[in-house]
Amino acid sequence: MNAYAKYFVKKLFWYLVTLVIAVSLNFFLPRMIEGNPVAMIVSQMTKGMTDSDTIKRVYETFIQEFGVDKPLWQQFLIYVQNLFTGNLGTSFGLYPKKVTDILASAVPWTIGLQLPAILVGWILGNVLGAVAAYKKGVFDKVIFPVALFVNSIPFFTLAIIMLYVFALTLGWFPLSGGYDFQMIPQLSFEFIGSVIRHHTLPFLSIVLVTIGGQAIGMREMSIYELNADYVLYSKLLGIRDSRISRYVFRNAMLPQITGLALSIGTMVGGSLICEIVFSYPGIGTWLFTAIRQLDYPLISGCTLLIALSVLLANFTIDIIYGFIDPRIKASQMEDQ
C-alpha cells in the first residue's frame, strides 16, 4: 500500500467512527435526558391527553415509525434501519409530509448559499490577511482591527443589520425568501434573476464574517512565517521578493486549510441562523420552524443532516490536505 492510500484508509476509519458516534448522539441524547421530547410525546399519547384526532394520528404515526414502545436498543436498530432506507419519519408540523422530502427541498438552497459563500469568504480572507502581514504599515493597522471587529460580530447580527439597511431602508434587495412569491420555480431568466437578488444579501453577510476570521488567522500565520529563518536566508541569497512571498504564502496556507476543516462546523451553524434572518428556504429556516412547532422528527432530521454534511466537508478537506502537504506523505513513508 502506498503512503497516500494508507493515509486515506486511516482517515476513513476515523471518520466512520465519528459518523457512528454522531448518529448515536443524535438518537440517544434526546432520549436519555429526563422529560425528553420522545417520552413526552409517548406519555401524552398513553394518557389520552391529546385533545384532537389529528394530533393523535400524528403521534401514532411517530410511535409506529420509531417503535417507541419497544426497548431502547431495539428502537436504535429501527432508527439505523430507517436511516439506511432514507426514512427519517413524518413531520408533525407538516403532517403527513415526510421529513426526507422537506429536507430534500431545502438542501439545494442551503448548499447554493453556504458553499460559495464560505469558499469566497475563505479565499478573500486569506488573501487580505497575507497582504496585511506582507505590506504592514497603515494597511495592516486598518485591516486588522476591522477584521477583528467583523469577526466578533455573530453571523446573524450582521445579517440583521444588512437586512435592515439594504432591504428595508434602501430597498435594494428583497426582504425574505429564496425567490419572488408569485413565481414558479423554472429555468427562465426572470426566475434566475429573482433567485440571485434574494441570494445576494445572505451571501454577502456570510462572506463578510468569514473574511474577518480567516484574515486574522492568515495574518498571524504569515507574520510567523515571514519571521522564519528561511526567509532571512533566502533574502541574503538574493532571491527575489515575489518568489519568497510565494514560499511564505504556501507555508502559511497549510494551517489555514486545516483551520477551514476545523471551523467549518461553526461556520455552517452560523450560516444556518443567517438563513433564518432572511427566511431563506434552507435547512436553517426549517430548523427554526421545527423548533417553534416542537416538530421533533424534523428537528432530529435537520441536526442529523447538518452533522453528516459537516463530517463530509471535513473528510473532503482532510483528503485534499493529504495531497497538498508533502509532509503527510513524508511522515507516512517514515512509518513504513
Partner 1 sequence: MKNSFNILIKSPKFMLGAGIFIVMLALVLIFPMINRKDPLEMIALAFQPPSSQLWLGSDNFGRDLFLELMYGIQTSIRVGLIAGVFATAIGLIIGLASGYIGGIVDNLLTSITNIFIVIPSFIILILISVSINSRSSLVTAIIIGITSWPWTARAVRAQTSSLRNRDHVHIAKISGHSTPRIIVFEILPYIASYVVMAFVLQTASGILSEASISMLGLGPYNTISLGIIMNWALVFEAPVAGAWWAFIPAALSIALITFSLYMMNTGMDEIFNPKIRS
Q: Can you tell me which of 182, 227, 242, 336 binds partner 1, judged by CB under 8 A?
A: 227
Which set of grid coordinates corresponds to residue 76? 436504535
**Least Å from the CB of residue 252 to partner 1:** 12
Residue 171's CB is within 10 A of a number of other CB atoms, namely 9
Query: Contacts with partner 1 in 126-185 (CB under 8 A)?
Result: 133, 136, 140, 148-149, 151-154, 156-157, 160-161, 163-164, 168, 175
| Among 69-77, 120-128, 246-254, 296-304, the segment contacting partner 1 (CB under 8 A) | 296-304
**Least Å from the CB of residue 269 to partner 1:** 4
CB distance 63 to 69 below 8 Å: yes
Nearer to partner 1, 207 or 267 (CB): 267
Which set of grid coordinates corresponds to residue 225? 512565517
Measured CA to CA, the distance from residue 159 to residue 164 in angstroms comes to 9
**Least Å from the CB of residue 35 to partner 1:** 5
Q: Is 29 in the site for partner 1 (CB under 8 A)?
A: yes
**Least Å from the CB of residue 325 to partner 1:** 18
Q: Is 230 in the site for partner 1 (CB under 8 A)?
A: no
Nearer to partner 1, 15 or 95 (CB): 15
**Least Å from the CB of residue 210 to partner 1:** 14
CB distance 284 to 271 below 8 Å: yes
Q: Which CA distances in Å does 261 have to 58, 101, 246, 278, 306?
A: 40, 29, 23, 26, 15
Q: Is 232 in the site for partner 1 (CB under 8 A)?
A: no
Can you give the length of the chain in residues? Answer: 336
Q: How many angstroms separate the most distant Cα atoms in the chain?
A: 84
**Least Å from the CB of residue 86 to partner 1:** 20
Q: Is 265 in the site for partner 1 (CB under 8 A)?
A: yes
**Least Å from the CB of residue 253 to partner 1:** 17
**Least Å from the CB of residue 260 to partner 1:** 13
Q: Is the peptide bond before 96 cis (omega within 30 degrees of 0)?
A: yes
Q: Is the peptide bond before 116 cis (omega within 30 degrees of 0)?
A: no
Q: Is 287 in the site for partner 1 (CB under 8 A)?
A: yes
Query: Contacts with partner 1 in 55-114 (CB under 8 A)?
Result: none
Between 137-152 and 189-226, two packed helices, what is the crossing angle to 10 degrees? 120
Nearer to partner 1, 19 or 124 (CB): 19
Residue 51's CB is within 10 A of a number of other CB atoms, namely 9
CB distance 4 to 329 below 8 Å: yes
Q: With 0-12 CB in 10 A as exposed, 13-18 as middle and 19+ as buried, what is 288?
A: middle
Measured CA to CA, the distance from residue 291 to residue 90 in angstroms comes to 15
Q: Is 116 in the site for partner 1 (CB under 8 A)?
A: no
Q: Can you tell me which of 95, 166, 224, 321 binds partner 1, judged by CB under 8 A?
A: 224
Contacts of 253 (CB under 8 A, 6+ apart): 126
- Interface residues toward partner 1, by CB under 8 A: 14-15, 17-18, 21-22, 25-26, 29-30, 32-33, 35-37, 133, 136, 140, 148-149, 151-154, 156-157, 160-161, 163-164, 168, 175, 220, 223-224, 227, 262, 265-266, 268-270, 273, 276-277, 287-288, 291-292, 296, 299-300, 303, 306-307, 310-311, 314
